[in-house]
Amino acid sequence: MTEKVHEEIDRVIGRSRSPCMADRSQMPYTDAVVHETQRFVSLAPLGIPRAVTRDTHFRKYIIPKGTTIFPVLQSVLYDSKEFPKPEQFNPGHFLDENGAFKNSDFFMPFSIGKRSCVGEGLARMQLFLLLTTILQNFTLKPLIDPKDIDITPMTLTSNAPMSYQLIVIPR
């Protein structure tokens, strides 16, 4: 997977300039890796708790005004009809058969609607620029076999990962 991102970086950006946002549209594989990382990590699995502002009919339920609700984003990010084998990290979840980037209505790590994350644009730019800048200049290697890395999140309400050690090799 890293090799494919390296290949796309070298072909589209090269080594002599920094990545910029205009590069993303020509880098479907890297874009898919960023999307799949956000889907897989599911950083805010329960979203952020909200309260309904009035009595609300939802399917066969009435949710009384003031009730706290948790929009369970993970149930969408791990929907097995949309993302086959959702428990596996697979950038192919966001690529079509020709290798073009394929978006999904189920991609909602920032939630949706009026109160969705105001930092989404900034966060998505940072994720792309940081990843491409690091991988343009370095190869990352784990200290142990990747399958032995413990990816259990630190808490239940946020899937923020633990700290990991890795080897950073200049390219």
Residues 19 and 31: their CA atoms lie apart, in Å, by 13
Would you say 9 or 44 has its CB closer to ligand HEM? 44
Segment near ligand HEM (CB under 6 A), from 16-24, 56-64, 108-116, 139-147?
A: 108-116
Cβ(19)–Cβ(129) below 8 Å: yes
The reply to whether 94 sits near ligand HEM by the rule CB under 6 A is no
Would you say 39 or 93 has its CB closer to ligand HEM? 39
Residues 98 and 104: their CA atoms lie apart, in Å, by 16
The reply to whether 118 sits near ligand HEM by the rule CB under 6 A is yes
Segment near ligand HEM (CB under 6 A), from 56-64, 78-86, 88-96, 107-115?
A: 107-115
Least distance from ligand HEM to the Cβ atom of residue 170, Å = 27
Residues 83 and 46: their CA atoms lie apart, in Å, by 19
Residues 69 and 150: their CA atoms lie apart, in Å, by 31
In this chain, which of 123, 133, 139, 153 binds ligand HEM, going by CB under 6 A?
Answer: 123
Segment near ligand HEM (CB under 6 A), from 3-11, 42-50, 56-64, 95-103?
A: 42-50
CB-CB neighbours of 94 under 10 Å: 22
Residue 135 CB burial class (10 angstroms; 0-12, 13-18, ≥19): buried
User: What is the contact surface with ligand HEM in residues (CB under 6 A)?
Assistant: 43-44, 47-48, 50, 109-111, 113, 115-119, 122-123
